[in-house]
Amino acid sequence: MSVRGDSSALPSRADFGPAFPAHIAIIMDGNGRWAQARGKKRVFGHKEGIASVREITTECARLGVQSLTLYAFSAENWKRPPLEVRYLMQLLRLFLVQERRTLMENQVRLGAIGRLDKLPKAAREELERTIAQTAGNRGMLLRLALSYGSRSEIADALRRIVSEARAGRLSPEQIDEESLRGYLYDPHTPDPDLLIRTAGELRLSNFLLWQASYSELHVTECCWPEFRAPQLHEALRAYAARTRKFGGLEPRPSANGTPA
Ligand code: FPP
């Protein structure tokens, strides 16, 4: 364990053993419930959620996670009351401006997936600015899923595949799992190894359905505004205890050395 100046112990990557996730994806749920349980408006929970985003991003970068994908606004979230949507978009813009410094200090590169053209112009511009400013950073990739839905991602991919085929640049025989991946929003980032959901719901909510096929799931009752470094460490410890088989068999040594 490394020790911070204030003498509180911080784990290092080695403390989690050899099974350490390269890519973590998080469904940040429970902001509204957390606020309402404290007699506050739902938006108070979103505001407090920003502090968790900052702490988790910094801690993942420190530990050497390669990619962190946060479900910040789903394609379905546009159905929320207009005031809440407006607040979330303002919060996104503020986050992008205020966190640039922290992202630069931690060598974090920002990326985004989703139907970004649906975002309000002001938020989109700040997003593009922060992506450009952090593009040269060599540390972790922080991907924000914004106006994101897996079904629309797959529909968008199919639309592009069909137009390529119509133009004679693609034949049905060329379509396989890997070529299809090439049409998703971000084909270059490897699939998430660990998918965390806060606030206890046992569903994927249209998040990375293709990419999370073999992700290890970790669901915690903790609401997002309370999900901080110790809760992340707990998820990493749970991940380290899993056996990943990807549909194959767990390697089991037999007495004579041949597979059991
Ligand atoms: C789910 O909580 C969370 C969201 C819909 C948005 C997540 C947004 C943030 C954490 C803040 C903004 C983040 C960035 C990166 C700018 P909920 O409101 O659905 O909670 P509930 O299920 O308790 O109602």
SS3 of 163-208: HHHHCCCCCHHHCCHHHHHCCCCCCCCCCCCEEEECCCCCCCCCCC
The response to whether residue 29 sits with its C-beta less than 6 Å from ligand 1 reads yes
**Residue of 26, 28, 68, 126 to test ligand 1 pocket, by largest number of atoms within 8 Å of CB:** 28
Query: Can you tell me the distance from the alpha carbon of 232 to that of 214, in angstroms, rounded to the nearest whole number?
Result: 20
- The alpha carbon of 256 and the centre of ligand 1 are apart by a number of angstroms equal to 54
Q: What is the pLDDT of residue 3?
A: 40
In the structure encoding, which two tokens stand for residue 160, read together? 């592009």
What angle (nearest 5°) sits at the alpha carbon of residue 31, between those of residues 26 and 32?
Answer: 140
Contact criterion met (CB below 8 Å) for 199 and 30: yes
Q: What is the pLDDT of residues 125-176, one digit of tens each?
A: 999 999 999 999 999 999 999 999 999 999 999 999 999 999 999 999 999 9
Q: What is the pLDDT of residue 8?
A: 58
**Residue of 27, 31, 60, 84 to test ligand 1 pocket, by largest number of atoms within 8 Å of CB:** 31
Which residues does residue 23 pair with via DSSP β-bridges, in sequence order? 67
Active site residue 29: yes
The response to whether residue 33 sits with its C-beta less than 6 Å from ligand 1 reads yes
Q: Where are the domains of the chain?
A: 17-149+192-240
Give me the catalytic one of 15, 77, 191, 206: 77
The response to whether residue 197 sits with its C-beta less than 6 Å from ligand 1 reads no
Task: For residue 52, give the ligand 1 atom closest to its CA.
Answer: 10
Q: What is the pLDDT of residue 252?
A: 56
Strands 216-219 and 194-197 turn out to be: parallel
Q: What is the pLDDT of residue 9?
A: 79
Q: How far is CA 68 from CA 25, 53, 54, 166, 186, in A?
A: 6, 11, 12, 36, 13
Active site residue 176: no
Q: What is the pLDDT of residue 1?
A: 44
Q: How far is CA 54 from CA 57, 77, 107, 171, 227, in A?
A: 5, 22, 14, 45, 11
Q: Which parts of the chain sit beneath pLDDT 50?
A: 1-7, 253-260
Domain 17-149+192-240 belongs to what topology?
Answer: Undecaprenyl pyrophosphate synthetase (3.40.1180)
Q: What is the pLDDT of residue 257?
A: 42
The response to whether residue 77 sits with its C-beta less than 6 Å from ligand 1 reads yes
Q: What is the pLDDT of residue 258?
A: 46
- 19's CB contacts (< 8 A; 6+ apart) are 239, 240, 242, 244
